[in-house]
A and B are shown apart, each in its own frame.
Chain A
Amino acid sequence: MSSLKPEIIKLNSSDILRTTMNDYFLRLKIANETKTKNIAWCTSVGPVELLYSLGFEVFFPENHAAMIGASKEANKYIPTATAQGYSPDICSYLTSDIGAFLQHETPLQKSGFTSVPKPDVLVYNTNQCHEVVDWFSFYAKYFKVPLLGINTPLYVHELTSNVIKSISDQFKALVPELEKVAKQKFDLDKFRDTIKLSQEGCALWKKILETAKHKPSPINFFDSVIHMAPIVVMRGTQHAIDYYKILLAELDERIKNKVSAVPKELFRIYWDGMPIWYKLSNIAKLFSKLDSCIVTSTYSNSWIFDDLDPANPFESSALAYTKLFIVRSDDIKQNVLKEMMSDYSVDGIIYHESKTCTRNSNNRFALQNRIFKENHVPYLEINGDMNDSRCYSEEQSIIAIETFIKQLSTRK
C-alpha cells in the first residue's frame, strides 16, 4: 500500500469540461425561458441524434439523476417518491429524480434554473431497461406532453435483420410525431450530419477510454464517469467533439510523460456496474491509496456506438443502439467482459451489484463464476446502489476492497 497521501490527480481538462457543461445547461435554460427552441427529454442511450437534427434542445433525466446522486441528496428525495407509491426497490434514479421534482428541487438550481426545463416531448428507448417508460410517463402526464419511444427487446443474443428492422422502423415512426412537436419538417441530410457528429464524438470517446490500455493508465474510472457527460448529453453535436479533442490531447500528453491517473499503479482493475455516485470521491481515494487503478468499466464504455453510419442513418442507429452491452444476452456479455479484461490487462474485476438497477448488475446470474472459470481473473462482489446510500455499507466495502487488493498482491 502506498505511503503517499491518497490523491486524486485531476485532469486539467476538467475546467473546460465545466464550461462545456455550463454552456449546455445555459442553452437549455435559454430554451426553457424564451421558448425559442423546443425541449425534448431523452433517455441516455435514446435517439438523441433524431432530436438534435430536429432542432430540439435535449435534457436527460438520467444525467440529472446522477447529478442528484453525486450531490449526495438522493436520500432526501427517494422517500418522497416512495410515499407516492414508487417502491424503494425500483430504480433509484427514477425515485430520486421524481422525489426531487415533487419537492420542487433540482441540482440545476445552482445553475440558475428554478426547476427542471419543461419538456415539449419525452422520448425513450427501452434498450437499457423498461423502468424508463414508467419514469417518463410520470412527467408526460404531469406536463401533458407526448410520450414517444422505441421498445427494444432485452437479452438480445443475435442481432438478426428482423430485430434491427423492427427497431429501425420504430425510429422512422418517431419522425412524424416529432415533426408535429418540432413544427418543422424532418431533414434527412441534417439527420445524416448529426449521425456523423455522433460517430465522430463516439470515436473520440473510444480513443479516450482506450488510452487506459497503456501502463500506467493516464485515466481511471472515476475520471471517465465525470468526463463522459458530453458523450451522454451532447452526442451528435460539435460541442462533444471539441471537448474530447482537448481531453484526448491531454491524455496523450500524459502517456508521453508517463503521468498516471493514480500516483502508483500496481494493480489494474475492471469495474462492472453502476458508479456509487454518493461515494465516488471516497472510493477513488481508497483505490489510489491501495496503488490500484480502475482502468476500465462496462459503464463508461456504454456510450461508444461504433456502428453509426451517416449513409444508413436509421438502420445504423437501430444497430448501434441495440448492439449495446446492456441489451445483450449473458453469453454475449460474458465474451465482451472477457475480451475487455484481456485488452486492458486487468488483475481483477469488481462487480458492483446495484440494489435498484438489475440491468446494470451483471453478477446476478452467475456470470462472474462463469468468467472466473474461464480466465481465472479474481473477482469481488460489492453490494450497493448508484443513488440510494441506504443500500451501501461503506465499512464492509472498504474491508472487502482492501482484502481484494491484498489477495491480488499475493498473485503478483
Chain B
Amino acid sequence: MYRVGIDLGSSYTKGVLVDDNNKIIDYHIVKTGFDFNAAAQKIIDKFSADHEIKYPIYTCGYGRDEVKFSFVSNSEIIALAKAVFKKYQKKCSVIDIGGQDTKFITINTLGTVDTFKMNRKCAAGTGSFIEEIAFRLNIPPIEFNTYADHASSETRINSYCTVFAISEIVGLIKKGIPLPNIILGIYHSVIDRCLELSPIDDFLVITGGIPDYHPSIVKLFKKKFSNCESPEKSQFMAAYGCVLLNQ
C-alpha cells in the first residue's frame, strides 16, 4: 500500500506516491483548472493504475478541502517545511515561488516553522507574473531561461504591477534594448519581490514551480547567496511534506 500526498495549487496540482520507507516512488502534475476534485482525481487515477494506494489522501494548497475522496488536509507551509527539513536536516530559510503565491519560511533546528510570510495580494514575484509577460511577448515561458543566459547586461524592470511591467517592457523594446537583457530584468524583478519578504541570513532553499521550470532564477539566487540550494522536483515538496506530517 502506498500513500499519496497532493498539493492542490492555484495553477497546478502536484502529487507524490510514497512507499512505507517514505521514499517517493512517483510524481504527477496536472493543471488545476476550475475543478480541484477533478485535478486531484487525475493524480489518484494515475497512481492507482499501477499501485494500490492507501486512503485518506493527504492534501494541502488552495483546494485542500475541495475534494470528494477521503482526505486529511494540511497547511502547505507546514508541509513544505517538513519536507525541506527532512532533506537538509538543518536550520534554513525557504523561498517558495508558486503560480500565485510567494512564501518565505524560516525553519528552526527542530524542523518547525519559526516565521513565515506570504506575498501581498498581487502577482508581483509569482509565476503568474512571468506567465503573463511570456504570453504578451509570445514566447513560451520556459524559453526565458535561454534568453536570460544570453543577456549581456541586466535591464531593471521597476513596476510591481504585471500590467505596468508589460507597458514598461514595451517601452524598453521601443528603445532597442535586447530581449535577453529584458528577460534577465524580469527574473531579477521576481527575485527582488522575494527578497523584500524578509532578510536572509542563513542557508537558503528555493522551491516551487518557478525554480523547477526556470533554473536560471536559481542560478541568479546562487550568485547572490553562496549558501543556496534548490532540490530537484521542488514543486512536489509540499505534497511530500503532507505525507510526512501524517505518519
Task: Give the interface of A toward B (CB within 8 A).
Answer: 378, 381, 383, 391-393, 395-396, 399-400, 402-404, 406-407, 410
Contacts and interface: CB of A to CB of B under 8 A. Distances in A.
Interface stretch (B15-23, B44-52, B75-83, B136-144): B75-83
A406 B121 contact: no
Interface in B102-151: 112-113, 115-118, 120-121
Q: Chain A at the B interface: mostly helix, strand, loop or mixed?
A: helix
B115 A406 contact: no
A400 B118 contact: yes
Contacts of A391: 121
Interface of B: 62, 75-78, 101, 112-113, 115-118, 120-121
Contacts of B62: 395, 399
Contacts, number: 35
B121 A407 contact: no
> Which of B76, B115, B118, B120 has the most A CB atoms < 10 Å from its CB?
B118
Contact of B116 (A392, A393, A395, A407): A407
Contacts of A396: 101, 118, 121
B115 A383 contact: no
B163 to A, nearest CB: 15
A57 B177 CA distance: 66
**What 5 A-B pairs have minimum CB-CB distances, sorted nearest first?**
A403-B75, A403-B77, A410-B112, A393-B121, A407-B113
B73 to A, nearest CB: 9
Contacts of A381: 117
B75 A406 contact: yes
> Which of A378, A399, A402 has the most B CB atoms < 10 Å from its CB?
A399
A6 to B, nearest CB: 13
A377 B120 CA distance: 23
Given A407-B116, A410-B113, A383 B121 contact: yes
Contacts of B75: 399, 402-403, 406
A406 B79 CA distance: 11
Nearest to A397: B118
A404 B112 CA distance: 12
B19 to A, nearest CB: 26
Contacts of A392: 121
Nearest to B78: A406
Nearest to A396: B118
A361 to B, nearest CB: 13
B161 to A, nearest CB: 14
A395 B98 CA distance: 15
> Which of A391, A392, A395, A406 has the most B CB atoms < 10 Å from its CB?
A406
Nearest to B199: A369
B39 to A, nearest CB: 16
Contacts of A399: 62, 75-77, 118
A383 B120 CA distance: 7
Nearest to A353: B120
